[in-house]
């Protein structure tokens, strides 16, 4: 038994609201029917956002944050607070702001790298510093929220985990604003493949990752790039001859994750001009020709290589025609 069944609790429904009274009230109404619920409220904390977007000073920022958390806590016991653009905020101001939010009733503190600016060591150090220096930090969970503008969302999230974060905000396929957010499947499988490296474990049913990925892609209309880690269509395909030969002898030579672990079952070698004799022989067996003589096999392999010079990828129909002629 895995996933939600193993935990024995329903999913916690979280509503997101700006640090504005009417937003928080509407959020509370929306999640009221949920057996487990949370309000997540946020307010920018970087000097850049305070000056140019909100046009307020740090003192007003603290005042608004406390008011928002206090109001949210009047509706639910579980309140999350995010200082937007924390990755570019003054760490010492963050400690002050977050301490006041915790005092007002926040139970989870989320640290957004809103524009994907931080380096992994930088983001991890920020999480570590905030946990060590924020008043009341021992009473709450710290959370990560990373964007992928520099392609570092997953790396930053994992660095956050190593430095004390115990919640991660992620999306299926890494969808999200601009370049996207941290991909759930990447974080889960990083932890899955390194059980002794990270100080956490997961209860995700990994067999449903691929199916869920395709469902999200269909519903959202956001296509998955072919070489996307874990869920891209090329993630478990092997084209290079030396890779194909290794996989045929032992899949672990070139696969750190068993495809079926994430629900991928229809996987085959991609035959092309880089494929070697072993890969071609294996495909011949799969297509119903396991007992070719060496002469027949050699003739078919030569014709296969000749066809590869004309076509980028040779399909099973092409190979069957070659075999029938042999």
Residue 313 has pLDDT above 90, yes or no: no
Query: What does the pLDDT average to over 217-246?
Result: 87
- Whether 40 has a pLDDT exceeding 80, the answer reads yes
Three-class SS state of 235: coil
C-alpha to C-alpha distance for 106 and 119, rounded to whole angstroms: 27
**pLDDT band (50, 70, 90) for residue 54:** very high
- Exposed, middle or buried by CB within 10 Å (0-12, 13-18, 19+), for 120? middle
Specify the pLDDT at position 2. Answer: 54
Please list, in sequence order, all residues whose beta carbon lies within 8 angstroms of the beta carbon of residue 1, skipping any fewer than 6 positions away.
none
Q: Tell me: the pLDDT tens digits for 287-302?
A: 788 889 999 999 999 9
DSSP-assigned beta bridge partners for residue 145: 112, 169
Report helix, strand or coil for 83.
strand
Instruction: Match 């999480």 to its residue by tokens.
Output: 127
Q: What is the mean pLDDT of the chain?
A: 93
| Alpha-carbon distance values, 253 to 198, 207, 229, 244, 310 (Å) | 24, 22, 18, 10, 30
Lowest mean pLDDT among 7-11, 14-18, 159-163: 7-11
**What was the pLDDT predicted at 278?**
87
For residue 69, is pLDDT > 80?
Answer: yes
Q: So what's the pLDDT on residue 109? A: 98
Edge-first strand listing for the sheet containing 141-146: 13-18, 37-44, 79-84, 108-113, 141-146, 167-169
How far apart CA 326 and CA 320 sit, in angstroms, is: 10
Q: Which residue has the higher pLDDT, 272 or 27?
A: 27
Label residue 244 exposed, middle or buried (CB < 10 Å: 0-12, 13-18, 19+). buried
More confident residue, 267 or 161: 161
- Written as six digits, the tokens of 73 are 């806590």
- Res 266: pLDDT: 66
**For 145-177, b where at least 16 C-beta lie within 10 A, e where not — what string?**
bbbbbeebbbbbbbbbbbbbbebbbbbbbbebe
pTM: 0.85
What is the C-alpha separation between 304 and 322, in angstroms, rounded?
7
Q: Give pLDDT, residue 3.
A: 53
Query: What pLDDT is recorded for position 8?
Result: 80
Give residue-wise pLDDT tens across range 254-285. 889 999 999 987 666 678 888 888 888 888 88
Predicted confidence at residue 100, as pLDDT, reads 98
Name every residue whose Cβ is closer than 8 Å to that of residue 48 and which is 6 or more positions away in sequence. Answer: 85, 88
- What are the Cα distances from residue 214, in Å, to 44, 187, 211, 218, 256? 34, 18, 5, 6, 22
pLDDT at 1: 41
């Amino acid at each position: 038994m895995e996933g939600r069944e193993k935990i024995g609790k329903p999913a916690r429904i979280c509503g997101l609201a700006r640090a504005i009274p009417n937003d928080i009230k509407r959020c509370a109404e929306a999640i009221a029917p949920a057996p487990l619920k949370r309000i997540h409220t946020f307010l920018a904390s970087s000097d850049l956002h305070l000056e140019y977007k909100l046009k307020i000073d740090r003192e007003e920022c603290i005042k608004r944050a406390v008011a928002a958390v206090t109001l949210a806590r009047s509706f639910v016991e579980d309140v999350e607070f995010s200082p937007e653009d924390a990755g570019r905020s003054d760490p010492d101001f963050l400690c002050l702001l977050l301490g006041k939010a915790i005092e007002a009733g926040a139970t989870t503190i989320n640290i957004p790298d809103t524009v994907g600016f931080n380096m992994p060591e930088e983001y991890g150090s920020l999480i570590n510093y905030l946990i060590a220096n924020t008043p009341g930090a021992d009473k709450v969970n710290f959370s990560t929220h990373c964007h992928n503008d520099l392609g570092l969302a997953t790396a930053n999230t994992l660095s956050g985990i190593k430095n004390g974060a115990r919640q991660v905000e992620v999306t299926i396929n890494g969808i999200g604003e601009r370049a996207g957010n941290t991909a759930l499947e990447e974080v889960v499988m990083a932890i899955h493949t390194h059980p002794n490296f990270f100080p956490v474990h997961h209860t995700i049913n990994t067999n449903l990752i691929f199916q869920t990925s395709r469902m999200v892609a269909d519903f959202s209309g956001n296509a998955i790039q072919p070489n996307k880690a874990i869920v891209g269509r090329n993630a478990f395909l092997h084209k290079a001859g030396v890779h194909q030969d290794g996989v045929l002898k032992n899949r672990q030579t070139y696969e750190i994750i068993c495809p079926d672990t994430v629900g991928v079952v229809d996987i085959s070698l991609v035959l092309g001009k880089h494929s070697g004799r072993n890969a071609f022989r294996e495909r011949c067996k799969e297509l119903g020709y396991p007992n070719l003589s060496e002469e027949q096999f050699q003739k078919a392999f030569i014709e296969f290589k000749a066809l590869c010079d004309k076509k980028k990828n040779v399909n099973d129909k092409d190979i069957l025609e070659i075999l029938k002629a042999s």
